[in-house]
Structure 1
């Protein structure tokens, strides 16, 4: 992780971030609380206290990805339903049908994983965007597996870093 950003420590969002996150998603899905989120973990920087990066999960609406364009310094990757990374954020959307989520066999849970930098630490390079997506993919796949999503929510075993659409920032290295 230190090759991506200066890290002092990794702090799970509770005693077991993956397990707690999957339980919160389950509870919020069953309550129909589409605005609820769950903090998966925080990465704390070496230079000053407080979170450097936060990983969290929540729900999305189909229009969230249908109307989404591509912003400056973003890449769209080849993972379902939509995966986008910039130098300071990444989003990975997937659908989860699971025996653990009552009713998801009829209406899959629409889940989004989010990685957000709380303060700027990186340049807008392709390597940084790929690193952000790789980290988010690993956390998202862990949550999909813990939720027992059918076919792991369509997520590949390894992050697919093929860029399907790139912004015009071109600070590539």
Structure 2
């Protein structure tokens, strides 16, 4: 999927999301997954599963297809080796679709430009948090920026992989822009990012706290 600057996702996303939603309409409960099992256990930690249920309003989820953890890690490492300043495409780690067409969203990763974390501006209604290099959340979306130093990137002293993770749930028009939902979105993104840094072998967990501590920036 092609991505524009500053996290604007371009053509293709509505079609993919529509396909995901249509796949949720089946009546076979054997295909249903709990929050801790969706996306191959990406949100297996109790707090992350709770945040997922809060964000979507669903307790069971449809199994969906996405790139998955190994492919997302390979994508980020490949983009880094190319020396790109920022990615013009992204890897979809996970697509979450609540049953009965309830809340749905996707988790995506790419390489960010250094200027992205130096910009003190943020979208209207967004709250900044002290997490990683930069983190923000508002109704329907959250973003997390962090750096990964790993053997694949050249180890200590080498240029780190600049990782941008994003939860995009802007299709959920009923998601309120409250602290509770903003932090649920970031909790989901943080849990996914911890799995990414583990898969990539990032030193010091990519600078991400574990357990999660969310400190708003005044």
Aligned length: 162
Q: Aligned in 2, Cα 1:106/1:114: closer, same or farther, shift over 3 Å?
A: same
| Partner Cα distance (1:12, 1:157) in 2 | 28
* Higher-strand-fraction structure: 1
| Partner Cα distance (1:68, 1:4) in 2 | 27
Q: Cα RMSD between the aligned structures?
A: 2.1
Q: Secondary structure at the match of 1:4?
A: helix
Q: Aligned in 2, Cα 1:142/1:20: closer, same or farther, shift over 3 Å?
A: same
- 1:149 pairs with 2:186: no
- 1:91 pairs with 2:143: yes
Q: Secondary structure at the match of 1:152?
A: helix
* Higher-helix-fraction structure: 2
Name the residue aligned to 1:171. none
Deviations 1:11-31 (A, max 9, x none): 3524xx122211111122112
Q: Secondary structure at the match of 1:61?
A: coil
- Pick one of 164, 169, 180 that aligns with 1:127: 180
- 1:21 pairs with 2:72: yes
Please say which of residues 112-121 and 124-133 is displaced more in the overlay.
112-121
Query: Which runs of 4 or more aligned residues in structure 1 lie more than 4 Å from their structure 2 counterparts after TM superposition?
Result: none
- Pick one of 129, 152, 155 that aligns with 1:77: 129
- Pick one of 113, 116, 120 that aligns with 1:64: 116
Gaps (5+ residues) in structure 2?
A: 1-51
| TM-score of the two chains, using structure 2 as the length reference | 0.67
